[in-house]
Structure 1
Amino acid sequence: MSLFSEPITADLSLRLQDAARVTIELMSDLIHNCCRRFPSQGQRGKTARVEALIKLGAWTDAALALLDLELPQWQVRRLAYDEGEWYCALSRERELPEWLDQSIETHHADLALAILSAFVEAQRITVPSSRPSVPSVERHADGFCQPMLSDNFA
């Protein structure tokens, strides 16, 4: 199974949108399918904190701690509540003016689910590509091009 495949993140995104609240099962599936650093040997304190928050059912704090562990380059740009929906915006460049920033924006009636939806989307777009950095060229020569001696010894 490859981590962060498009169908997995799409399925998780739909499950998060359709969920009424966060559950241990949903959080477990999200961690299993989207998190590459959890559990982190180098950051045992952060991993233990996420686990403790999940056990307590502190879903919003757990979502923010998971974001800090898994995507430290992403930060919460905005959390807002409007007409029954929580809006969450994550950004890599929080100090840029909002109109220049390419942030991820999600919304949900539950705050933790709004943050987790943005987290899954950020994970999806930050997946390292499996393509090589230098494009490859096919190595077969067709019949049209044939080598010929072109030295001029005169």
Structure 2
Amino acid sequence: MDAALNRGLADLACRIEAARVLREHHLWEAAAALPLTGASGSPGRASSRFAGLMAANALVDSVLLLLDRAEPKRSVRSMRRSGGRWTCVIERAPGNAGDRFTARHADLPAAVLAAFIRSCAPARERSGAVQGRHPTEFSAS
């Protein structure tokens, strides 16, 4: 990933953390930054499916579609609610064992998208505060 894309994802992650709930524009921005290029189906078909899910306000399903299309492959390890906050843990495919990424948020779609974005960040940006930004609740496990 190039530096501008990394900064864009870091900015998006900060805006998601600060938002009370995930908004459609957050997902559209993530979809634009992380193209639907995975192996399951054609990019055009995935884009149409994504647009349909967004039109139906199926935000969690929209995030999961982005996750499904990501390379390297990732999967949701857990989603749980405790103390009024959702915790989502995403891990990379078995070939990248040990790469787990956690995000916490009051809104489930926001927690899932934040963990996914966290999994896309270079290692140097996963260690606490993102360059010049406030610390977030993102962590690599």
TM-score (norm 2): 0.71
Could you tell which deviates more after superposition, 58-67 or 85-94? 85-94
> Where does the alignment leave 5 or more consecutive residues of structure 2 unmatched?
124-141
Partner of 2:105 in structure 1? 108
- SS of the equivalent of 2:7 reads helix
Q: Kindly state the Cα deviation for residue 43 of structure 1 after the two structures are TM-superposed.
A: 3.7
Contact 1:4 1:124 in 2 (8 A): no
Instruction: Please tell me the residue identity of whatever aligns with 2:121.
Output: R
When the two chains are superposed, the root-mean-square deviation of aligned CA atoms in Å is 2.8
> Where does the alignment leave 5 or more consecutive residues of structure 1 unmatched?
127-154
Partner of 1:50 in structure 2? 50
Q: Kindly state the Cα deviation for residue 70 of structure 1 after the two structures are TM-superposed.
A: 2.5
Q: Does 1:35 align with 2:38?
A: no
Contact 1:89 1:118 in 2 (8 A): yes
- SS of the equivalent of 1:27 reads helix
Residue-pair matches, total: 120
Which structure's residues are more often strand, by fraction? 2
Instruction: Please tell me the residue identity of whatever aligns with 1:56.
Output: A
Q: Does 1:119 align with 2:116?
A: yes
TM-score (norm 1): 0.66
Identity of counterpart residues, as a percentage?
24
Partner of 1:23 in structure 2? 23
